[in-house]
Amino acid sequence: MKKLSLLITLLLAVLLLQNCKKDTITETATSNNTLFAVINDTTWSAVNIQASLTYSSATKTKVFTCTGTATNQEVTFNITANNTTNTASFPLQTFNDDGSTITFGYLRANSSGTYIPQGTVAAGSGSITFTAVDSVAHKCSGIFSCLAKHNNYDNNGNLISVTINEVQDGAFNNLPYTFISN
């Protein structure tokens, strides 16, 4: 009888251990911000955003334009897609700055509120990837980054320093845009 009760106890212990499972915790980083980036190692999130997609029937091109401002800083970008059709969509692809496909701008407001460019983004110094486009709701998502370089000269025109402004880890989430066809 002792052997039977020992066997039953062991069997119950095995069944209890089978039902014990390790807790699994999964975390996902998300943001409710529509347009944000890390600018010179500081997180920036746009408060005012304007975005549009314009189709030109004459050139068969689409230009996506976006401007976001906050905390006296402005980020702008324009992306041109060639050989396109007259739809409210945009290609899901990575656009690398080749000097003509993308233009970036990083600007800061001066004391009078005028936004001043903080350098030039040279060809090869930026990229934008469109990861989702909803052509019905006119919303898109993607990531971007760029590097703006500003040469500082003295009164004699001699280069004295170079200022680098990094706009890294940028993203736009469900960014609403207007569609214009002409």
User: From start to end of 82-138, where are the E strands?
Assistant: 94-96, 102-109, 115-117, 120-134
Nearest alpha carbon to residue 47 among 13, 28, 75: 75
Which tens digit of pLDDT belongs to each residue from 105-145?
999 999 999 999 998 888 888 999 999 999 999 999 999 99
Indicate the pTM of the whole model.
0.76
Distances (CA, A) of 133 to 34, 51, 53, 169, 170: 14, 13, 11, 19, 17
Percentage of the chain beyond pLDDT 70 is: 82
Which tens digit of pLDDT belongs to each residue from 4-14?
555 566 555 55
> Percent helix, strand and coil across the chain, each rounded to 5?
10, 55, 35
